[in-house]
Amino acid sequence: METTAGPHAEPDWPTQLRAHALRVTRPRTQVLGAVREHPHASADEVHRAVRVGLPEISLQSVYVVLADLERHGLIRRIDVPASPARYETRTGDNHHHAQCVRCHRIVDVDCVVGSAPCLAPGSATGMTVLSADVLFRVICADCRENGPDSTTRAPLHVSTKE
């Protein structure tokens, strides 16, 4: 989970990078800031945000930094159907996501029942479950109010990560 001085304070990215044995670089701190400022952003969206403060950074460099930060647990990658991967700095708390099937907005959903992981498979054939990612497919309140419900009930997408 993010470490902050208060609920809305900017995290101390250099300290967090060092705690994960990573060098403190402008691309890393800029990407972390962009992902925190724009939760559930795609790599393209992170790139656009980072270019404001670091105009010379390439999209490929952003992808490399995102992969590095994810590997070290500083950000979380969210895989949603028919969409590029999304990223967030909220890690380590086993929360889930809801995505509107109309506008594609993604919001955090706290774990409703149980401790991490919230789901336990009936048979994992000797495997140890490390996490369970749940994506609720929903129609958000804004979309529900702005048009008729022409969407059929969407299935729950569940994926487990090792």
Q: Which segments of the chain does DSSP mark as H helices, in order?
A: 13-19, 26-37, 43-53, 59-71, 141-145
Q: β-pairing, 96-100 with 106-109?
A: antiparallel
> What pairs with residue 76 in β-bridges?
88
The answer to whether the CB of 97 falls within 8 A of the CB of 108 is yes
Is 111 within any annotated ligand binding site?
no
Quote the tokens at residue 141. 């309140």
Is 103 within any annotated ligand binding site?
yes
Is 140 within any annotated ligand binding site?
yes
Cα separation of 34 and 45, whole Å? 9
What one-character-per-residue DSSP string does 31-57 give?
Answer: HHHHHHHSTTEEHHHHHHHHHHH-TT-
Binding-site residues sit at 100, 103, 140, 143
> Which residues contribute to the annotated binding site for Zn(2+)?
100, 103, 140, 143
